[in-house]
A = this chain, B = another copy of it.
Amino acid sequence: MSGFGPGDAFLADCPGRLAVELIADKWTVVVLAGLSKGPVRHGDLIKLIGGISRKMLTQTLRRLEAHGLVRRRAHAEAPPRVEYELTPLGATLIDPIHALTEWARANGDAVLDALDAGLEQTAGNH
């Protein structure tokens, strides 16, 4: 109903798999979203995101850097300061991510409803 032509699905070895492998983990999308407004410091990202450990943040950023989506900029100052920002390439990913966010805002409740509708387990507690 909504978009894929006959040959351009997500299957087998299509390029679409690349996108999935790129973002299908716990933090990548969230980190990209955190960078979507401009350069941010490491510590600020930690607070902004909430729940991520320094280890995972650094690890995620490094991966994105290697993929050309994020740029790391270290300033040689007395208290070290490191800022991360999206590359132009990375910025192009924001729109698809934004589409996901919008979807969640619009349909999140429906999903949660379906979820606890399913919580009338096998047990028949009248």
Contact = CB atoms under 8 A, between A and B. Distances in A.
Contacts of A106: 92
A18 B111 contact: yes
Contacts of A36: 1-4, 9
A43 interface: no
Interface residues on A, range: 35 or more
A69 interface: yes
A99 B101 contact: no
Majority SS at the chain A contact face: helix
Interface in A66-106: 66-69, 86, 89, 91-106
A51 B12 CA distance: 7
Interface string A13-28: 1111111101111100
Interface of A: 1-4, 6, 8-20, 22-26, 29-30, 33-34, 36-37, 48-51, 66-69, 86, 89, 91-108, 110-115, 117-118
